Structure formats: C-alpha cells, structure tokens
C-alpha cells in the first residue's frame, strides 16, 4: 500500500493524485535496464529475422549468410539478457 508523501494518507495503487491533498503521486518506477535492453534486443532480433527472410527473396539485398549469423547471435544474446531480467526480478 502506498502513502501520500505530502499528507501520509493511504492511496490506491492506481491513484495518480492524492484524494485528500491533491499531491501528485510519484510512482516508484525504477528504470529496469535489463528489461529495456531485452526489449531492444527483441526488436533487433525480429528485424534481423525479417531481413534474413527478405534476403532469401531479394537478389540485391543484404547477404542471407550475414543476416542468418546476425539472427542467431541475437538469439543467444537475447537469451542471456532474458536470464539477466529474470535474475533481477527475483532479487
Ligand atoms: Zn495527500
């Protein structure tokens, strides 16, 4: 349960402003770097995967081998990033 920093009254989880004094509630939203990194890696992975598939059909696009290597390495990096996220959320 959160409490208002200004008047110390109880706040509901979804409250953004204190009902008693109108104080804007600061949501404890710590920047989760592994999670952000994980999301970025997921995006990169799907971009690389899409490029690999596209390169199979395009003759003058990027090399399928390079895209395939990139996709596989991103898959491994993403997996270790996922482990890091799970480790941090368990703490
Ligand atoms: Zn208040």
pTM (two decimals): 0.57
Torsion region of 22: left, alpha or beta (phi above 0 gives left; psi -120 to 50 gives alpha): left
Is the separation of the CB atoms in 78 and 38 below 8 Å?
Answer: yes
pLDDT digits (tens, 9 = 90+) for 49-75: 999 999 888 877 778 899 899 999 999
Distance of CA 3 from the midpoint of ligand 1 (Å)? 8
Distance of CA 11 from the midpoint of ligand 1 (Å)? 8
C-alpha 90 chain-centroid distance = 16
Ion ligand 1: protein residues whose beta carbon lies under 5 Å: 4, 6-7, 18, 20-21, 23
Distance of CA 31 from the midpoint of ligand 1 (Å)? 25
Distance of CA 89 from the midpoint of ligand 1 (Å)? 30
Distance of CA 28 from the midpoint of ligand 1 (Å)? 16
pLDDT digits (tens, 9 = 90+) for 10-58: 888 788 888 889 888 766 666 677 778 888 999 999 999 999 999 888 8
Q: How many beta carbons lie within 10 A of that of residue 73, not counting itself?
A: 12
Is the separation of the CB atoms in 69 and 45 below 8 Å?
Answer: no
């Amino acid at each position: 349960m959160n409490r208002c920093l200004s008047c110390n009254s109880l706040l509901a989880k979804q409250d953004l402003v204190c009902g008693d004094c109108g104080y804007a509630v600061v949501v404890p939203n710590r920047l989760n770097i592994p999670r952000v990194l994980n999301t970025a890696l997921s995006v990169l992975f799907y971009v690389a995967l899409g490029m690999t598939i596209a390169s199979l059909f395009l003759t003058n696009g990027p090399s399928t081998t390079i895209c395939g290597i990139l996709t596989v390495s991103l898959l491994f990096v993403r997996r270790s990033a996922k482990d890091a996220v799970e480790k941090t959320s368990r703490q």
